């Protein structure tokens, strides 16, 4: 799988794209993930590192062997890219050292192994990562406002912010900024970004993370300033967002990050 890093710079209101970085070899696609089985009752006599049991009743977590794993200074965000058996990779944005750390993921144990090279340079203060699994690109939002070394044709005059996400087909990328979300189409060949019509879409105050649900039908925004969550229905044909009934939904104080399961 081919991997690259593309940087989104804040403050200068531009997007700049770094040259592609090869992280691993292999094909660009693989078979669907293996089936998941549910076991009820009492299970005994299980051993070996290749078997992982998750307590679905309580949601309890067990530490991965070797955890915690070293990263850069002030790691703020992470993203997974790839599918077993060709490889799964974890990328971490290190805001304090202006780098992204790259790891291979052992899909049996969950343990991490640093790739070679282990880090990639970004712009100033990387704070969020979004991935394009179809092309193997990684988009990094730089909260410090610097402009990284560009490709030909970059930087682009796009409104950007520190928190970004792609939909699950990697056809669109969304950025939170001010009191709104801005959407871009992703070129399926080059990975370049094009502003979508109908944006910005209003969110709450100081929007932060923007995850999609697992079905790729809905996008949610954590609004740090207004202490609520905005929910939108996602149009996979156009990339458009429509507020869902009841949105925004109340949350606790200073909600910054969301995750769907």
pLDDT given for residue 9 in this prediction: 40
For residue 153, what are the CA distances in angstroms to 6, 7, 149, 159, 192? Answer: 13, 14, 12, 16, 10
Phi and psi at 87, nearest 5°, equal 135, 140
Q: What is the pLDDT of residue 209?
A: 85
Q: What gap in Å lies between CA 125 and CA 100, rounded to an integer? A: 10
Q: Mean pLDDT for each 10-residue chunk of the chain (261 residues)?
A: 46 32 40 49 48 56 80 82 68 86 84 87 80 72 54 47 82 87 86 87 90 91 92 95 94 84 72
pLDDT reported for residue 152: 40
Q: What is the pLDDT of residue 1?
A: 45
pLDDT value of residue 238: 95
What is the per-residue pLDDT for 95? 83
Which two structure tokens, joined as six digits, stand for 222? 């954590």
């Amino acid at each position: 799988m081919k991997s690259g890093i593309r940087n989104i710079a804040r403050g200068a209101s531009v997007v700049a794209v770094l040259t592609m970085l090869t992280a691993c070899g292999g094909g660009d696609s693989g078979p669907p993930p293996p089936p998941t089985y549910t076991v009820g009752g009492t299970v005994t006599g299980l051993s070996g590192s290749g078997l992982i049991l998750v307590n679905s009743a309580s949601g309890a977590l067990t530490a991965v062997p070797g955890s915690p794993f070293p990263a850069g200074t002030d790691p703020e965000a992470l993203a997974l890219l790839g599918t077993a058996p060709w490889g799964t990779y974890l990328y971490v944005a290190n805001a304090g050292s202006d780098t992204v750390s790259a790891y291979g993921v052992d899909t049996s144990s969950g343990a991490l192994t640093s790739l070679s090279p282990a880090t990639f340079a970004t712009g100033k203060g990387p704070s969020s990562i979004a991935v394009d699994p179809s092309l193997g690109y990684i988009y990094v939002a730089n909260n410090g406002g610097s402009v990284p070394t560009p490709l030909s044709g970059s930087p682009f005059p796009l409104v950007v912010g520190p928190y970004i996400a792609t939909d699950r087909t990697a056809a669109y990328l969304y950025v939170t900024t001010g009191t709104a979300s801005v959407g871009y189409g992703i070129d399926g060949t080059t990975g370049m970004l094009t502003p979508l019509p109908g944006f910005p879409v209003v969110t709450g105050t100081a929007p932060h993370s923007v995850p999609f649900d697992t079905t790729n039908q809905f996008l949610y925004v954590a609004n740090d300033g207004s202490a609520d969550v905005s929910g939108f229905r996602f149009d996979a044909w156009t990339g458009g967002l429509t507020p869902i009934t009841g949105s925004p939904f109340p949350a606790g104080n200073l909600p910054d990050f969301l995750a769907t399961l």
